[in-house]
Amino acid sequence: MRSRNTLKLAGLVVAVAVFAVVTAVALSERPHVELSPQRNLETPNFRSTSLISDDMVSEQLFKSDGYKLLNVWASWCGVCKREHEELLQLAELGVPIIGLNYRDQKQAAREYLSSKRNPYIEVISDPNGKLAVELGVIGTPETYLIDQNGRILIKYRGELTAEKWNDIFSGYLNVSI
């Protein structure tokens, strides 16, 4: 009788362990998507320089017709380099993308965009990460969906692949890749 109870207990422990492992794997593969905690609040007020032209830019970049993406990137970021091709495809399909160059050297960022092509309609230079902190950036890359009023609707952390674009963002802009 005692060995039967021991076997049942061992079976239960194994079943719980298998369930825990399967659950952990499933949760780790979920995209890091959240409705923005700033939902329906405008993007922060800021003044910075354009990486491309050295002109001053502000939050007015986000306030125009239609949805736009804000992509936080850096020339030193390996994951940013992997998602660059998807950003180029989106730009070619007419998706307006604003870049936020995060804690980067201007010359390195400019050289990267020159050699790999620039998918951005504008690039905000944020060498100290001040604007990124105000946006709640955790790391690179991050991509935000912003509406015509400058409100953040979606915040996505991680590599923006074609699959993630189609699952998360494409319905807003009616563009699939």
Nearest Cα residue to 109 out of 67, 155, 140, 153: 140
What pLDDT score was predicted for residue 64?
Answer: 86
Question: Checking DSSP bridges between strand 32-35 and strand 47-49, what pairing results, if any?
Answer: unpaired
| 64 CA to centre of own chain | 21
Report residues of the chain scoring pLDDT below 70: 1-40
What pLDDT score was predicted for residue 30?
Answer: 45
Distance CA 156, CA 165 (A): 10
What pLDDT score was predicted for residue 11?
Answer: 57
What pLDDT score was predicted for residue 27?
Answer: 37
The model carries a pTM of: 0.79
What pLDDT score was predicted for residue 41?
Answer: 74
* Cβ neighbour number for residue 95 with a 10 Å cutoff: 23
What pLDDT score was predicted for residue 28?
Answer: 37
Model confidence pLDDT, tens digit, residues 72-103: 999 999 999 999 999 999 999 999 999 999 99
Q: Identify the bridge partners of residue 130 per DSSP, sorted by sequence position.
A: none
What pLDDT score was predicted for residue 13?
Answer: 53
What pLDDT score was predicted for residue 169?
Answer: 96
What pLDDT score was predicted for residue 19?
Answer: 45
DSSP three-state, residue 117: coil
